[in-house]
Amino acid sequence: MSIHTENKKKVTTLQLTKMKQDREKISVLTAYDFTMAQIIDNAGIDVILVGDSASNTMVGNATTLFITIEQMIFYAKSVVNGTKRALVIVDMPFGTCSGDPMRSLEAAIKMMRETGADAIKVEGGSEIKDDVKKIIDAGIPVMAHLGLMPQSINKYGTYAIRGKDEKEAEKLMQDCLLMEELGAFGILLEKIPAKLATEISEKIKIPTIGIGAGSGTDGQVLVIQDVMGMNKEFSPKFLRRYADLHTIMTEATQHYISDVKAQKFPNENESY
Ligand SMILES: Nc1nc(=O)c2c([nH]1)NC[C@@H]1CN(c3ccc(C(=O)N[C@@H](CCC(=O)O)C(=O)O)cc3)CN21
Ligand SMILES: CC(C)C(=O)C(=O)O
Ligand SMILES: [Mg+2]
C-alpha cells in the first residue's frame, strides 16, 4: 500500500529509503507556486521539487544559471505554503554550493530557515564533497544531483546524455558511492543510460530519482509544465505529457475573450 492511502502525515527522507526497500517507486514533480503545489500534493505526489528550472519555466530564461537564492526562496516558500503531505526539496541555485563549504552552509541554512522546506538538492559530486559534508553535519538533508547537471551547461556546451563512455560512467558511480557515504538521503540521476542508472540504484541503499534515466531508478521526476503539456518547445525523448493544458488553456482563454466581446460575460447571476 502506498503511504498516502495510510495517512496524511508528512513524507520523510527516511520513508523514501523505506519505499526503496519495499520497492515502491517514488513519484516526484516540480512545482514553483502555491496553487500548483496544493493540486499535486492533494493528488498524492510523494515529493515536490522546487527546481531551479523555475529559471526556465517561470521566468523564461534560457538556462538555470540566472536564478538567485532570493528568487528560489520566494518560489520555495510558496510551495511549502501549499503542501501538507509531500516532502519538499529545493534546488540550491548556481554558485551557492560550489567549493566553499562555509559559504555553502550559510546558503543552505538561509534556504531552510526562510522557506520551511524539508531538504535541499545540489548539483555535483566529488568536487563539492566538503560542502555536502558541512551541510549534512549541520542537520540539513541533502539530495545529490548527478549525470546531466544543467548548472554546468557552459562547461559542457550541450544537454547531451552523460555517462556514456566508461570513464564518465565510472566517475558517476564513484560520485554516487561518495554521496551515499557522506550521508546524502538520495541521488537524482539526469539523462544517463538506463543500464548505468539501474546498476547505481542496485549498488546504493539510498533512493535514486531519475529523469531520462530509465525505469531502473527508485523514483521518477519531471517538470510540471512539461507533464501538463503547457510548453510546446521542450520535447526531449524522456518526456511523457500527461495532459494538454496548452490546448485547454488556449481554448478557455479564447472562449473568455469571445464572451467578454459579445457581452455574454458577466450575466445577471454574476453581477450584484
Ligand atoms: N521545462 C524544463 N524541463 C526540464 O526537464 C528542465 C528544464 N526545463 N530546465 C532545467 C533542466 C534542463 N534539462 C534538460 C535540458 C535539455 C535536455 C535535452 O535532452 N535536450 C535536447 C538534447 C540536447 C543535446 O543532445 O544536446 C532534447 O532532445 O530536447 C534534457 C534536460 C532538464 N531541466
Ligand atoms: C529537472 C529537475 C531534476 C531539476 O533539477 C529542476 O527542475 O531544476
Ligand atoms: Mg535543477
pLDDT in tens, the chain (272 residues): 455 454 568 999 999 999 999 999 999 999 999 999 999 999 999 999 999 999 999 999 999 999 999 999 999 999 999 999 999 999 999 999 999 999 999 999 999 999 999 999 999 999 999 999 999 999 999 999 999 999 999 999 999 999 999 999 999 999 999 999 999 999 999 999 999 999 999 999 999 999 999 999 999 999 999 999 999 899 999 999 999 999 999 999 999 999 999 999 999 999 99
Which residues, in sequence order, are CB contacts of 175 under 8 Å at separation 6+?
Answer: 125, 126, 144, 146
The verdict on 139 and 265 lying in the same domain is: no
The verdict on 92 and 104 lying in the same domain is: yes
The verdict on 262 and 163 lying in the same domain is: no
Q: Which of 91, 153, 238 should be mutated for ligand 2, with most atoms under 8 A from CB? A: 91
pTM of the model: 0.96
- Structural domain boundaries, residue 119: 3-241
Ligand 2 touching residue 184 (CB < 6 A): no
Using the mean position of ligand 1's atoms as its centre, give its distance from the Cα of residue 8 in Å.
33
3-state secondary structure of 88: strand
- Shortest-distance atom of ligand 1 to CA 158: 26
134 alpha carbon, distance to own chain's centre: 22
97 alpha carbon, distance to own chain's centre: 17
- Shortest-distance atom of ligand 2 to CA 223: 7
Distance between CA 228 and CA 244 in Å, rounded? Answer: 6
CATH code of residue 214: 3.20.20.60
The question of whether 190 is a catalytic residue gets the answer yes
Catalytic residue among 24, 170, 190, 270: 190
The verdict on 127 and 9 lying in the same domain is: yes
Distances (CA, A) of 177 to 64, 164, 187, 195, 206: 26, 18, 10, 17, 10
The verdict on 164 and 106 lying in the same domain is: yes
Using the mean position of ligand 2's atoms as its centre, give its distance from the Cα of residue 51 in Å.
5
The verdict on 11 and 121 lying in the same domain is: yes
The verdict on 233 and 263 lying in the same domain is: no
Ligand 1 interacting residues, C-beta cut-off 6 A: 53, 56-57, 64, 150, 158-160, 191, 223, 225-226, 234-236
Distances (CA, A) of 163 to 28, 127, 172, 173, 197: 23, 17, 7, 9, 10
Domain count, the chain: 2
Per-residue pLDDT, 1: 44
Say if residues 3 and 16 touch (Cβ distance below 8 Å): no
The verdict on 228 and 159 lying in the same domain is: yes
The verdict on 252 and 117 lying in the same domain is: no
The verdict on 209 and 233 lying in the same domain is: yes
- Amino acid present at 83: T
123 marked ligand binding residue: yes
Per-residue pLDDT, 6: 47
The verdict on 255 and 164 lying in the same domain is: no
Calculate the dihedral angle through the C-alpha atoms of 240, 227, 48, 42, rounding to the nearest 10 degrees: -110
Ligand 2 touching residue 188 (CB < 6 A): yes
The verdict on 142 and 25 lying in the same domain is: yes
Per-residue pLDDT, 9: 85
Measured by CA distance, the residue closest to atom 17 of ligand 1 is: 159
Q: Please give the ipTM for the structure prediction.
A: 0.96
